[in-house]
A and B are shown apart, each in its own frame.
Chain A
Amino acid sequence: MEHYTMNLTLKVWRQANKNVVGRFETYSVTDISSEMSFLEMFDVLNERLIQEGKEPIAFDHDCREGICGMCSMYIDGRPHGPWHGTTTCQLHMRAFKDGDTITVEPWRANAFPVLKDLIVDRTAFDRIIQSGGYVSVNTGVSVDGNAIPIEKEKADKAFAAAACIGCGACVAACKNSSALLFVSAKVSHLSLLPQGGPERKTRALAMVAQMDKEGFGSCTNTGACEAVCPKEISITNIARLNSEYLKAGLSADLSPTS
């Protein structure tokens, strides 16, 4: 791999906290190696800001391995930036060239208020899981792991849906700020497995209801979510959720969920 260095202009969203209005600030960064990750480029900028006595840019990150779902930058109009199937932290600087201007914003959605700079509040996702995104089984009462064989194909599909990292890029990409890809991934993961069977109906209804309550918009099938999802969660999951939802809605014996 050929390595190179570059000078860049960054336009970054700065906002001190939830209650004030934010604005873009422009920074130039020099001598950025193509081997750096996108966040390492931010580290370099932040070190400089600290040296200059300015406030560094706050952004969410933790694993820097594309798995925790914490990083969340809206880069040049695209959640997580230009690489397909890639989180912000796994984006590397060889995606850019010398002289580029890069615009970086936080996720934008009513349900994800900005806390500071590029950091947003995504606790709405936790509350959606609380509404039914689980199997109601207490510790210690389970049967042998191999008691129920599961068709490999179904298990693989459940796994593919369970790969969602809860980052919220799908919401950020959607013009309606719908969270349906996230919700459908969880509903699919659990309803494809026999263990999730008994609560299928209540789960789909409760999670969709909570999603609406949190202020996420409705889905108009634009497919923008799938295109930016770093874990390549398929919109066929949304079709599956719709059918689960319909079936659940049609059945009469619905008990309220907690």
Chain B
Amino acid sequence: MLDSKIPAGKLEEKWVDYKGHCKLVNPANKRKLEVIVVGTGLAGASAAASLGELGYQVKAFCFQDSPRRAHSIAAQGGINAAKNYQNDGDSVFRLFYDTIKGGDYRAREANVHRLAEVSVNIIDQCVAQGVPFAREYGGLLNNRSFGGTQVKRTFYAAGQTGQQLLIGAYQALERQVAIGNVKMYSRHEMLEIVKIDGKARGIIARNLVTGELERYFGHAVLLCTGGYGNVFYLSTNAMGSNVTAAWKAHRQGAYFSNPCFTQIHPTCIPVTGDHQSKLTLMSESLRNDGRIWVPKQKDDPRKANDIPEDERDYYLERRYPAFGNLVPRDVASRAAKERCDAGYGVGTTKQAVYLDFRFNLINKYGRTEANKLGIENPDEATLVRLGKEVVKEEYGNLFDMYEKITGENPYEVPMRIYPAVHYTMGGLWVDYELMTNVKGLYALGEANFSDHGANRLGASALMQGLADGYFVIPYTIGNYLADEIATKAIPTTHEAFEASEKEVAGRLERLMSIKGKQSVESFHKRLGKIMWEKCGMARNAKGLTEAIAEIQQLKKEFWSDVRIPGTINEMNPELDKAGRVADFIELGELMCLDALERNESCGGHFREESQTPDGEAERKDDEFMYVAAWEFKGESNWQLHKEELKYEVIKPSQRNYK
């Protein structure tokens, strides 16, 4: 039975109560306890630093050459917190409510409320570390708006929020490395979890420089290994982002939850051709000032700037007057797809819509600046010039990036954008303490399934990663380790380590010995195509059933015909990639199975069979109000467990952003 271990009591008192009563480990004992942290993005770096500060002996791992390069670095737009600095009616309850509603009522109330509570501490912590958030002229912190909310609660640092937050956490981590509380292993990839008597007790990692396998012991193991969006091949994730760590844990018994809940982000630079290796996000924050439209006329041959105002269809403003361009991501993405499928798309591929800044550049920023400078009756050129300055300060790096990639200047012509895979709400099942169903094995950040239900609101992944690492795990891990103080460090000569290493070595040798004809990349592309077409923005039973069969076939082909150059005992990026793609293939199958089983639409999961007459997602609460938790039973064989979701404070209703 799945026990989510949600504390009893009133929602707003649960976390306070928990902290007041959980077990503690005294400082002398902490020094004898070893914790393995796999992954040093926002979740892992904040966890490793905080646990190091508490006095635990931490070993941290990442596959990049430095912890500062984790995928978190790429986050652009911002981080939410219920500070209510804008005096616009925000509160912990409102952030909690927006997140639950944004997630289409498929997240746990208790977890999300805790997230909203600690959000305020995150900002304080980051400021204290020297994170240079955007400020107003009075010297106080500035905020912007994000989708799915009607308040301004998003803190940011231009379009580089993730970078600044990660550098903050990285510096805290390096400080602990210097003191000796954390030992950092970069260019290392975890390839197996070692379990002893049912508890996670260590990992097998491959040194990516020498190719050697290494064994590490820990009293507990934390997986902070990020999301699996790259199962689609093309996504906004970094090239190396992968599911391997979580997948190994899954095969070792950890349940995988809601794998089909993936987020397709509405504003990304469209695909240009077969050579495309990744897609680039244009932050949701741009929807503060950018208006989305397509021509009212099909296949309109004119350039965007030549199409007059009354011949443009601002379809989000038309369909969703209350939230307009700031509807949540799933809603915005589907609306873009609807317009393009109906033949109104723009650009050479017709798979794009416009994101246009001109109106706000002139009317919002240009005019305000002109007023500040006391310029009466400014002409349009002046307004454009003044507005540009402000837009540059807010989003300069994003505009530059757009221009470098497309060769077009977004200050002059509207951006062309299209939805792309961006984030995965699903992940390892965890309880309230962030522990998986395997004792001593935890999952933090994007790697777990916990807080975003079926759709994550913008600026809340950074919040969740840092909440998990700085403010949740330091308490909850003590509750487990307090009972482990008598456990001496287990030597890695133990037979369980021996067996795990052998298993990993065997798999690597199997991969190398295939010596087939097709490259790893070609398999990854084919998997991505199946996933995007049949388990992407719209899904149906027929497509999903076909996808499962196709993926099983692809798996067979991969294991009989993949070609990996080089050898095992050297730096071999192709081998690293092969292992990851092999795991993606297995995950892809489970995602389709989960999507097939969930015969309702909710959040990012849109089943064509389940929609309202006007094409909105239709949930079926009486049948599907649960977290799907899949247990691995063998190749292509899973058992579904259900954790029922109980709403005690919020009453679920059909989401309405009109």
Residues 55 to 74 of chain A near chain B (Cβ within 8 Å): 55-56, 58, 60-70
User: A125 is contacted by which of B66, B73, B563, B570 (Cβ under 8 Å)?
Assistant: B66
A residues in contact with B141, CB < 8 Å: 145-146
Q: How far is the CA of A121 from the CA of B438 in the complex (A)?
A: 36
Q: How far is the CA of A146 from the CA of B174 in the complex (A)?
A: 26
A122 touches B139 (CB 8 A): no
User: B406 is contacted by which of A1, A43, A134 (Cβ under 8 Å)?
Assistant: A1
A145 touches B174 (CB 8 A): no
B401 touches A65 (CB 8 A): yes
B65 touches A60 (CB 8 A): yes
CB distance from A134 to the nearest CB of B (A): 4
CB distance from A130 to the nearest CB of B (A): 4
A155 touches B132 (CB 8 A): yes
B residues in contact with A162, CB < 8 Å: 132, 157, 164, 167
A189 touches B130 (CB 8 A): yes
Q: How far is the CA of A130 from the CA of B573 in the complex (A)?
A: 28
Known: A43-B277, A123-B186, A126-B66. A68 touches B138 (CB 8 A): no
Most buried by B among A16, A90, A139: A139
Q: Does residue B511 face the partner (Cβ distance < 8 Å to A)? A: no
B277 touches A64 (CB 8 A): yes
Residues 140 to 194 of chain A near chain B (Cβ within 8 Å): 140-146, 148-152, 155, 158-159, 162-163, 165-166, 189-190, 193
Residues 127 to 175 of chain B near chain A (Cβ within 8 Å): 127-130, 132-141, 157-158, 160, 162-164, 167, 170-172, 174-175
B129 touches A115 (CB 8 A): no
Known: A146-B85, A189-B130. A66 touches B571 (CB 8 A): no
A139 touches B407 (CB 8 A): no
A residues in contact with B64, CB < 8 Å: 62, 68, 70
B residues in contact with A152, CB < 8 Å: 135-137, 139
Residue tally, chain B, CB below 8 Å to A: 84
Query: Residues 12-40 of chain A: 1 if any B CB is under 8 Å from the residue's CB, otherwise 0?
Result: 00001100000000000000010111011
Known: A83-B404, A195-B127. A65 touches B272 (CB 8 A): no
B residues in contact with A43, CB < 8 Å: 275, 277, 521
Q: Does residue A237 face the partner (Cβ distance < 8 Å to B)? A: no
A68 touches B178 (CB 8 A): no
Q: Does residue B565 face the partner (Cβ distance < 8 Å to A)? A: yes
Q: How far is the CA of A223 from the CA of B601 in the complex (A)?
A: 58
Q: How far is the CA of A33 from the CA of B239 in the complex (A)?
A: 21
B83 touches A63 (CB 8 A): no
A35 touches B139 (CB 8 A): no
CB distance from A153 to the nearest CB of B (A): 9
A67 touches B160 (CB 8 A): yes
Query: Nearest 9 pairs between A and B by C-beta?
Result: A149-B139, A142-B128, A134-B171, A1-B407, A159-B132, A130-B178, A145-B127, A68-B69, A139-B50
Residues of B with Cβ closer than 8 Å to A? 46, 49-50, 53, 64-71, 73-74, 83, 85, 121, 123-130, 132-141, 157-158, 160, 162-164, 167, 170-172, 174-175, 177-179, 184, 186, 209, 238-240, 272-273, 275-278, 280-281, 400-401, 404-408, 470-471, 474, 519, 521-522, 563, 565-566, 570-571, 573-574
